[in-house]
Amino acid sequence: MDKLTDIRWLDTVESTNDEARKAVGELDNLSVIAARCQTAGRGQGDHTWHSRPGENLTFTVVLKFGCEGGLAPLAARDVLLITQAVTLALRRYLKGKGVSARIKWPNDIYVGDRKICGILIENILHGSEVAASIVGIGLNLNQTEFPPDLPNPVSLSLVTGRRYDPEKELVRFMRILKECAGKTNTAGGRRYLDRTFNENMFRLPS
């Protein structure tokens, strides 16, 4: 338990998003389920997320809106704010390590032309509002060898030449995410997220 958030580490799970969805009713805003080994991690669409056990960060953050202890109410039409807050938090975290990163639409993080992080966001709606968001994040931390069929992966260790403690790095990231997610509470914060996201986002040629 960190002073800022509840982080639950599990040794092995199929998917941290699935675990978070099953427990979402009992989890507080900004609770985290993290796995040392994820056997069936999912990416966008039908993609899977490959991560060597114990080397990277594979975790899910639960964001809650419009409830006691949660973030301000969020209309379903404004769900892009969640992507903006999460991707900008990841970019700021990497910048703190001396790494310049960009956001590939809609929710991958690239260093140069290589992918360092993927995000899978699943929203739970209540009428026209977002009740909760299940934010799965796979961040390549220490892995230095990847399957040959993965397109241009990279890790923080490959970029910086250092190794990192996953548990300590998750706490550091969550401090940043808490601040970025809090910007969804105000009109000024939402404008900041939208502007900064667009300044640092790119799309692959169609």
Residue 30 is assigned to a structural domain of this protein: yes
- So what's the pLDDT on residue 48? 56
Is residue 4 within a helix (H) or strand (E), and if so which, with residue range?
none
Candidates 10, 130, 18; CA nearest to 63 is 130
Residue 122 is assigned to a structural domain of this protein: yes
Residue 86 near residue 80 (C-beta atoms within 8 A): no
| Host domain of residue 197 | 7-202
User: 170-206 pLDDT, tens per residue?
Assistant: 999 999 999 999 999 999 999 999 999 999 999 877 6
- So what's the pLDDT on residue 47? 52
User: 127-160 pLDDT, tens per residue?
Assistant: 999 999 999 999 999 999 998 888 899 999 999 9
Token pair, residue 158, equals 């490959």
For the chain, give the number of residues.
Answer: 206
Residue 66 is assigned to a structural domain of this protein: yes
Residue 2 is assigned to a structural domain of this protein: no
Residue 61 is assigned to a structural domain of this protein: yes
**Structural domain count of the chain:** 1
107 forms bridges with which residues in the sheet? none
Residue 1 is assigned to a structural domain of this protein: no
pLDDT at 58 over 90: yes
pTM: 0.92
* Lowest-confidence region among 65-79, 115-129, 141-155: 141-155
Domain CATH code at residue 62: 3.30.930.10
Residues 6+ apart with CB under 8 A from 201: 87, 102, 103, 104, 105
Residue 126 is assigned to a structural domain of this protein: yes
Residue 18 is assigned to a structural domain of this protein: yes
